[in-house]
Structure 1
Amino acid sequence: MRSPRPRDAASIMLLDRSQAHVRVLVGRRNKAHVFMPDLHVFPGGRRDPGDHRLAFRGDIHPAVLERLKAGYKHSASESRLRAIALAAVRELHEEASIAVGSTDCGNTPLPFLPDLTNLRYMARAITPPGHPRRFDTHFFALFTDEAGVNPDDIRDSRELEDLRWIDVDDVSAVRLPDITKIILGDLRANLQSDASLPFGRPVPFYYMRHGRFVRDLL
């Protein structure tokens, strides 16, 4: 059986730095899911066709856009790349009831106007061949204080259960996919290097090449 083509997807590492140690939001995927069932993951999901048409209040940082572009041999349109970032914010709202943006939105598909200005681009990973569903996932980071998010406002959803904040330095309380552990390791290293997570820094890109697991930098 031919392996399916990876679909664009996006995920947000929502970070709370109000305490002594930085915490990240994760939730457990329902055991009925085909993809990564019964594991804790960051909020996220695939890019939908309608994400291209979503209005937004603040645009993606130019340095983030350049890093997104760097991952494509053939040019990817800014509309497509922006839609990936918009998908991350939309999924965060759908899965955790967190709105990043302005609630003064008028007649729009979402109950808020997404604000992309504070998203950091942190990693990209393509699901290896052999899985029933494959995704080309872009991982963003967002600090709650910059986004005006109250860490107490998270709510479980049908997509993500047992939403919880975990210490970035100690994730032993939950079961995580291997790629999530790897990306959290990168996040820890970045926070140790510069806790502000500057825009535009090199981005690790994980994928399989000729049966080998590869880590490139974008």
Structure 2
Amino acid sequence: MNAGGSVKADLLTEDVARRHEDMRHPPRRPKDAASLLLVDRQKKTPRVLVGKRGKGHAFMPAMYVFPGGRRDPNDNRTALAQPLKGEVAEQLLRRTAAQFGESAARGLAVAAAREMMEEAHLSLTPAEHTPNLCPDVSHFRYLARAITPPGMPRRFDTRFFVCFTDEVGADPATVRDSDELQDLTWLPIDRHEGYPLPGITKVVLTDLQEALDADHTLPFHSKIPYYYYRNGRFVRELI
């Protein structure tokens, strides 16, 4: 792990200790989840969509996060207008249990698209397939993965996808608040002071900025930062 990766892992460790120091919950198996970083690159500084979770949420209340949520069983069976790129589908299978197959990997992409629709009212289903959920996920890149540490009220094994608004025909002006996310905001990726962001959101934003600096097209075959908790600290590993 390089120095930059160590700093990111330390930030996550400190964030968990600060926000959950008095919370100890029984061991829970992490649930598969997905988030989508939708990037608007029309301006000089790219912007990414975030929204504020309600105060009543058990997990990250009143924090600004990317649209996303748990993979539902039906997500594995949902048809796709266009599938994931082959290299992305292959990446999603790395470091997973034997029972985690191609349908589960596809289900994660469906979950990200479904949550974007439910939480921001932004559909990734082409017009000819409406009103059924049938998203085009062919532009999704796999950006990062993070597992919530033990002892938290909720635990997720979250895969973070990213794509550009112009690739999927999304108009940034059309997003609307929902019961799940309020104050939907297009946040410049390098200026997020003043917004209460979880440590993982800050870290993934940094990963996104570094990926864009390396190649503004965001190639589909890049190595994936994987954050997980071991011996009381977060580890950052490229997979």
Give how far 1:76 is off. Answer: 2.3
Q: Which residue of 1 aligns with 2:50?
A: 26
Unaligned runs of 5+ in 1: none
Q: Which residue of 2 aligns with 1:167?
A: 188
The answer to whether the 8 Å contact 1:69/1:75 transfers is no
Structure 2: how far apart are the matches of 1:212 and 1:174? 25
1:69 to 69, 74, 93: 93
Structure 1: how far apart are the matches of 2:123 and 2:174? 10
2:212 to 166, 191, 198: 191
Structure 2: how far apart are the matches of 1:43 and 1:217? 24
Question: Per-residue displacement from partner, 1:137-159 (whole Å, max 9, x unpaired)?
Answer: 00000100000000101000000
Q: Which residue of 1 aligns with 2:176?
A: 155
Aligned pair count reads 215
Do structure 1's residue 41 and structure 2's residue 65 form an aligned pair? Answer: yes
Q: Which residue of 1 aligns with 2:82?
A: 58
Do structure 1's residue 209 and structure 2's residue 233 form an aligned pair? Answer: no
Structure number with higher helix proportion: 2
Give how far 1:73 is off. Answer: 5.2
Does the residue aligned with 2:128 lie in a helix, a strand or coil? coil
Distance of aligned partners of 1:73 and 1:216 in 2 relative to their CA distance in 1, 3 Å threshold: farther
Q: Which residue of 2 aligns with 1:7?
A: 31
Unaligned runs of 5+ in 2: 1-24
Within 5 A, what are the aligned runs for 1:128-143? Answer: 128-143=149-164
1:90 to 111, 114, 118: 114
Does the residue aligned with 2:203 lie in a helix, a strand or coil? helix
Q: Supply the RMSD in Å over aligned alpha carbons.
A: 1.2
Q: Which residue of 1 aligns with 2:137?
A: 116
Structure number with higher strand proportion: 1
Structure 1: how far apart are the matches of 2:108 and 2:233? 27
Structure 1 residue identity aligned to 2:102: E
Question: Per-residue displacement from partner, 1:113-158 (whole Å, max 9, x unpaired)?
Answer: 2001000000000001110110000000010000000010100000
TM-score by length of 1: 0.95
The answer to whether the 8 Å contact 2:227/2:234 transfers is yes
Structure 2: how far apart are the matches of 1:7 and 1:213? 18
Structure 1: how far apart are the matches of 2:159 and 2:105? 10
Structure 1: how far apart are the matches of 2:99 and 2:91? 12
Structure 1: how far apart are the matches of 2:114 and 2:145? 18
Identity %: 49
Question: Per-residue displacement from partner, 1:160-182 (whole Å, max 9, x unpaired)?
Answer: 00001010010113110001111
Structure 2 residue identity aligned to 1:164: T
Does the residue aligned with 1:137 lie in a helix, a strand or coil? strand
Give how far 1:56 is off. Answer: 1.1
